[in-house]
Amino acid sequence: MNKKQKELAIEVKGITKSYPGVVANKSVDFTVNKGEIHALVGENGAGKSTLMKILYGIEQADEGEVSVNGNVVEINKVDTAIKLGIGMVHQEFHLVPSFTAAENIGLGEEPRNSNGLINWDKLNKDVSEIAEKYGLDVDPNLRMIDASVGIQQRTEILKTLYRNADILILDEPTAVLTPQETDELFQVIRSLVDEGKTVIFITHKLREVMEISDRVTVMRDGEVQGVSETKKTSVKELANLMVGREVFLQVQKEKSKPTDVVLEVKDLWVHDARGLVAVKGVNFEVAKGEIVGIAGVDGNGQTELVEALAGLRDTSRGEILFEGKNIEKNSPRQRRREGLAHIPEDRSNTGLNVRLAIWENLIGTSYFRSPLSRGGIVSMKNILRHSNELRETFDIRSPGVTIRAGSLSGGNQQKVVVARELSEEPALTIASQPTRGVDIGNIEAIHEQIVEIRDSGKAVLLISAELDEVMSVADRVGVIYEGEFVEWVDPSKVNQEQMGLYMAGIKG
């Protein structure tokens, strides 16, 4: 056996960490070999980020021991972690939007001239050199406010490399990326290990684990459930370990039985925030009893189309007919009252008020109705009962409904939005990226709920950049490219490769 492979970059023994009311890490043992890509997987709330924050000195463990490169260390602040060669890219980026990439990367560590002023030339040169070495394509002069999510992430990675990180922790890096950006990130990760770095890659997407990692550790409820070489395990086995029960990876549903048309879109044109045409004269219908999917790479007009349907963006031409009536002039609230629900892609801004309690978010669109209000008076008792029922039905994991929505994990925040929207049994539900950032057990639950709405005779429009999702959940799928439908397909009769061509705008 190759001795080098056996050297440990990280060895964690018996780490326990409690927060009020929850043990986030329970006697965790965790090892990472030097030079490997180690996937750390688990559902939301499993304790992955906590363990990584302990390694990075953001949190302190109650018990346990950490060794880095064979030496027992005390990491009680981030500076210590950085000195030990550990770098971390968080789920939420920590960049200054008005600063350029180079300014962000150098922040607090800028090279100085002899007169004490920042040596911008050297900083730009250093950044470009590191960027080149690892294939991290970033323009040092680009302001972060103008950068795509993918570029912001690369800037964060460069920031750790600029501080000489040897062990990189990437916390759910692909949750915010498109499939192409994910591919690009994987190339970067591969070049990092080629250059001798060690990468800890957190994800809940098991396909990514299989594609990129050498070994994988699975966590659930704060405990390690298993460790394996990736090639000796399977998606199925990992999914079962993660969720703690048998998971169906395929959505179970009968053939759809569409009836009356609920939504009719005719020659619809919509402009984007910059005034450019984003939706170019699309036509389609959605009927009761069917799930119509819209597939496509992010940024091909999906967002603008959904916003126009939900009443959040003006249309420039065309018609939106809901149950036969023109609704273009109706406010989002009027549309909602008429039976059009919307699960927005951006849950923390549009979907939720993170500063309000879970119950306040759950009833935000229905509190004025009986039995939540009677004779104009709000019944707190009924509201709490109703909220707690939704919390159970939709499996929102929280100590209660009175805590702030913002304190929930991303997946649970999404479940609050889904619960609110679906609890009103709308005639049409527009579900936009309903499982983005949601873990596998909850994805399954959300997909089941979408199929249930369909089976109860309602209509669903599902928009997703996850091809697997649209293909397995929807009954009919339109592929959108540059604001137009390239093709409509029966998902059971078309393969991935053909879909990929449509998504690239190539007609059959």
For Mg ion, the binding residues (CB under 5 A) are 49
Round to whole Å and give the CA distance between 239 and 209.
Answer: 11
Round to whole Å and give the CA distance between 95 and 149.
Answer: 11
* Bridge-based pairing state of the strands 428-432 and 340-343: parallel
Instruction: Determine, following the binding rule CB under 6 A, whether residue 44 of this chain makes contact with ligand ADP.
Output: yes
Round to whole Å and give the CA distance between 53 and 59.
Answer: 5
Q: Residues 148 to 167: which contact ligand ADP by CB under 6 A?
A: none
Q: Which does 297 bind (CB under 5 to 8 A by kind): ligand ADP, Mg ion, none?
A: none
Tokens of residue 95, six digits: 């960049």
CA Rg value for the chain: 24
Contact 316, 268 (CB under 8 A): no
Tokens of residue 445, six digits: 């639950």
Tokens of residue 317, six digits: 């031409």
Nearer to ligand ADP among residue 321 and residue 356 (C-beta): 356
Nearest approach in angstroms of CB 401 to Mg ion is: 22
Q: Which does 47 bind (CB under 5 to 8 A by kind): ligand ADP, Mg ion, none?
A: ligand ADP
- Taking the chain, what is the end-to-end CA distance rounded to the nearest angstrom? 51
Q: Which residue has the tokens 């990736």?
A: 230
Nearest approach in angstroms of CB 198 to ligand ADP is: 20
Instruction: Determine, following the binding rule CB under 6 A, whether residue 372 of this chain makes contact with ligand ADP.
Output: no
* Residue 180, CA distances (Å) to 137, 149, 186, 201, 208 in order: 14, 12, 10, 18, 13
Out of 409, 414, 435, 464, the residue judged to bind ligand ADP by CB under 6 A: 409
Nearer to Mg ion among residue 185 and residue 383 (C-beta): 185
Q: Which amino acid is at 473?
A: V
Nearer to Mg ion among residue 426 and residue 441 (C-beta): 441
Contact 251, 293 (CB under 8 A): no
Q: Residues 1 to 20: which contact ligand ADP by CB under 6 A?
A: 19
* Bridge-based pairing state of the strands 325-326 and 476-481: unpaired
Q: Which does 42 bind (CB under 5 to 8 A by kind): ligand ADP, Mg ion, none?
A: ligand ADP
Nearer to ligand ADP among residue 92 and residue 129 (C-beta): 92
Nearer to ligand ADP among residue 15 and residue 459 (C-beta): 15
Instruction: Determine, following the binding rule CB under 6 A, whether residue 488 of this chain makes contact with ligand ADP.
Output: no
Nearer to ligand ADP among residue 61 and residue 123 (C-beta): 61
Instruction: Determine, following the binding rule CB under 6 A, whether residue 442 of this chain makes contact with ligand ADP.
Output: no
Q: Which does 158 bind (CB under 5 to 8 A by kind): Mg ion, ligand ADP, none?
A: none
Residues that bind ligand ADP (CB under 6 A): 19, 22, 24, 42, 44-50, 409
